[in-house]
Structure 1
Amino acid sequence: MAGVTALAAVVGLLGGGLGSYAVNQWSGDTSSVTSFDQPKPASNTGTAEPGSVQAVADKVLPSVVQIQARGFGGASSGTGSGIIISEDGYILTNNHVVSGAEGSGSLVARFNDGKTARLEVVGTAPWSDLAVVKADAQGLTPATLGNSEDVPVGSGVVAIGSPYGLSGTVTSGIISATDRPVRAGGESGSQSTVLNALQTDAAINPGNSGGPLVNMDGQVIGINSAIYSPGSGSPGGQAGSVGLGFAIPVDHAQRIGKQLIEDGSAERTTLGVTVDITGRTSGALVVEVPSGGPAAKAGIERGDVITKVDDRLINSGDELVAAVRSHAPGETVTLTVTDRQGGNERTVQATLAGTEM
């Protein structure tokens, strides 16, 4: 014990002596050359490699706007994002971004160069959580749209928007899954808002809504719409990102957006059935079949269970709704149908209809 104590004392003294020497030396010598004295380059010399997040951001940022919704009296009622789709001011966004300015409210776009402009609503599709607005502007940079039909799971993506009002924020991740049934705008209790979504782990927070999810070629493949919030137990909550974000596939958004520009409204694709949403069966249990609809014409009856749409497995009522809405009105799909016990399997053809909303 004595030897250990003595050794400890020597080490302590040496440490103290060295520390004192270092302080004295630093205090008395100012001739050292540090990094602070090195000349800095004239500018950042980093070059964006094709396919890098930086290259994607350089390409897409000019096509993304922040949207500020103001309610009655000019009070702020929320901030979201939007995607420029034409040089003369058409902008695609979420319905829940613009809904805060309904009535006597107003919408303002803040562009990437800092300029602002008032927005007018061209048309909305609340059931699909999409809206088109227009700014009185010219010479804008429209985004390049990609293809969401065959996006590979695991492929890289970049999300751009205004989370919590921080405009021009860029985050990156991958496509975690496709064909996720989620409720648009975070609504619950009604299948009127169910959409067929892309899932990503790129950080998406409140304020990213309406902004683009793009592939590594800088092409828009989705419109960010919802996040999963452990606090609320449903997509669309106000908690921060937990790596579960959802985007509306651009193929669907493009079809709806074109209708909104041309007509101010859009058709919702329908099979003509009401299904159980409790999840008590494996598949979509049909509880009502209105006469004259696509399902009735195809021979679907109350009590049938739909287990597939084409080759896509259906495990719930929401999955059936999402699968149907991934198609356009007029398309024909093959439905696999069983009874409640999973027997008497058969297939039928149904031509989907469109309901003006």
Structure 2
Amino acid sequence: MSTTPSHDWSPSDTYSFGPPPEPPKKRRAGLAAVIATSLIVGGGAGLGGAAVWDSTHTDAPSTSADPSSNASPIAQSDADAPEGSVEDVAARVLPSVVKIDVTGAEGSGSGSGIILTSDGTILTNNHVVEVAGESGRITVDFADGTTAEATILGTDPLTDTAVIKADGVSDLTAATIGKSANLNVGQEVVAVGSPFGLDATVTSGIVSALNRPVNVGTDESGNSTTYPAIQTDAAINPGNSGGPLVDMNGAVIGINSSIRTAASQSGFEQSASGSIGLGFAIPIDEVMPIVDQMSAGETPTHARLGLQVGGQQDGETEGAPVTQVTPGSTAEQGGLEVGDSITMVDDQRISDADSLVATIRSYRPGDTVKVTWVRNGETQSAEFVLDSDGE
């Protein structure tokens, strides 16, 4: 299946390609903008931000104590964090999250990763490591401050996942893998990663939606990278890519991968846009079989119906219109024809091409699904055993 790629989604990573462009002239030089910029630019940003704050507040209070004041310091408790709190989840998850720096012939980038095994197998996004190419360098920073070189075990552009292996490490804290199928809209979640290179950053929010079709581009063969995303309002920014989205038990239920960006007045996306409360994670259930294949050095396989779908042909027909059926495929054998419009797969409603691709990607080759479609105004349905793109 292939579709026209959407340009509304932006991978939540950080890349640099050559010198940065000249910054636009500011219409209003607000203090918040100055401090935000200083946080992004480098290691001395914290001190610089404080210096800006002090220099712009001439009425800052004196450091000497006021003898007439009755104020007294509040004693901070050193008690353990309540079980299931964000603080508790962060303490459990942070040791299993890494920062990944990548350099290659075409540029450099940074992202995040999830430790899968104690000897250094790490899950991340394909778009985080693809910058390395054939001869680039991948460096992993661990929570204890140590660093290691890493090599790529496998990549899968269709699900935007990759597995790398850190060299010469042991006794790492592997993440706990949960079940994304158990998620509910409104459920609390926590995101961990390295937004803008700021490692060990924790944000929290809720599951805003489930099975949101997200199309972030195409591979070299024209197949779309589309997945049924977990939508969250937990702040996800460039650099969070590859880091975990976890439930309140600290179990990984998704891989933070993309954000919805705000468009500029010219109609183009802002390349450095930050979180607007629309972040998207790849459900962990859908990709773990592929992760296992990559970890074993195998070529990942994906389920397919054996057809192509396109955009809506008119304003009345719902679903995903079939534009081509592959000879000998399960789609042809099951009776699907060009011009049919697929409206359901099992109990999942299909609204357009992206939702069909995302839904089929959530299955594995050999799974049986019930497909419902409309032909000449009449609804039909049949069961299909999904093909594999590895055949």
Same fold (TM over 0.5): yes
| 8 Å contact kept, 2:312–2:320 | no
Say which of 182, 185, 188 aligns to 1:153: 185
Report deviation, 1:32.
Answer: 4.4
**CA pair 274-185 structure 1, distance change in 2 beyond 3 A:** closer
**CA pair 172-236 structure 1, distance change in 2 beyond 3 A:** farther
| 8 Å contact kept, 2:205–2:233 | yes
The equivalent of 2:284 in structure 1 is 250
The equivalent of 1:285 in structure 2 is 321
Q: SS of the counterpart of 2:256? A: strand
Separation in structure 2 between the aligned mates of residue 210 and residue 92 of structure 1, nearest angstrom: 7
| 8 Å contact kept, 1:226–1:236 | no
**CA pair 97-279 structure 1, distance change in 2 beyond 3 A:** farther
Q: 1:112-134 CA deviation, whole Å, 9 max, x = no partner? A: 11110001000000111000000
Aligned-pair identity (%):
47
The equivalent of 1:321 in structure 2 is 357
| 8 Å contact kept, 2:124–2:241 | yes
The equivalent of 1:345 in structure 2 is 379
**CA pair 178-30 structure 1, distance change in 2 beyond 3 A:** closer
CA RMSD of aligned residues (A): 2.5
Unaligned runs of 5+ in 1: 1-25
| 8 Å contact kept, 2:263–2:270 | no
Report deviation, 1:47.
Answer: 2.5
The equivalent of 2:344 in structure 1 is 308
The equivalent of 2:213 in structure 1 is 181
Separation in structure 1 between the aligned mates of residue 114 and residue 218 of structure 2, nearest angstrom: 20
2:95 is the alignment partner of 1:62: yes
Aligned residues between the structures:
322
**CA pair 123-334 structure 1, distance change in 2 beyond 3 A:** same
Report deviation, 1:295.
Answer: 0.6
Unaligned runs of 5+ in 2: 1-61
Separation in structure 2 between the aligned mates of residue 98 and residue 107 of structure 1, nearest angstrom: 8
The equivalent of 2:39 in structure 1 is none
The equivalent of 2:137 in structure 1 is 106
Report deviation, 1:103.
Answer: 2.5
Q: SS of the counterpart of 1:267? A: coil
Write the letter of the residue equivalent to 2:197. G
**CA pair 236-53 structure 1, distance change in 2 beyond 3 A:** farther
Separation in structure 1 between the aligned mates of residue 191 and residue 268 of structure 2, nearest angstrom: 21
The equivalent of 2:40 in structure 1 is none
Write the letter of the residue equivalent to 1:286. V
| 8 Å contact kept, 1:231–1:237 | no
Write the letter of the residue equivalent to 1:354. S
**CA pair 85-185 structure 1, distance change in 2 beyond 3 A:** farther
Separation in structure 2 between the aligned mates of residue 244 and residue 185 of structure 1, nearest angstrom: 18
The equivalent of 1:263 in structure 2 is 297
The equivalent of 2:123 in structure 1 is 92
Report deviation, 1:184.
Answer: 3.8
| 8 Å contact kept, 2:218–2:224 | no
| 8 Å contact kept, 2:312–2:321 | no
Write the letter of the residue equivalent to 2:93. V
The equivalent of 1:6 in structure 2 is none
Write the letter of the residue equivalent to 1:90. T
Separation in structure 1 between the aligned mates of residue 237 and residue 270 of structure 2, nearest angstrom: 9
Q: SS of the counterpart of 1:216? A: coil
**CA pair 158-316 structure 1, distance change in 2 beyond 3 A:** same
Report deviation, 1:265.
Answer: 2.0
Q: 1:136-183 CA deviation, whole Å, 9 max, x = no partner? A: 210000000100113101000000000000000000000000111112
Report deviation, 1:238.
Answer: 3.6
**CA pair 93-49 structure 1, distance change in 2 beyond 3 A:** same
Separation in structure 2 between the aligned mates of residue 234 and residue 128 of structure 1, nearest angstrom: 25
**CA pair 236-178 structure 1, distance change in 2 beyond 3 A:** farther
Question: Which is helix-richer, 1 or 2?
Answer: 1
Q: SS of the counterpart of 1:226? A: strand
Query: Which stretch of the first structure deviates more once superposed, 89-98 or 274-283?
Result: 274-283
| 8 Å contact kept, 2:232–2:279 | yes
Separation in structure 1 between the aligned mates of residue 125 and residue 334 of structure 2, nearest angstrom: 34
The equivalent of 2:389 in structure 1 is 355
**CA pair 289-90 structure 1, distance change in 2 beyond 3 A:** same
| 8 Å contact kept, 1:272–1:293 | yes
| 8 Å contact kept, 1:333–1:349 | yes
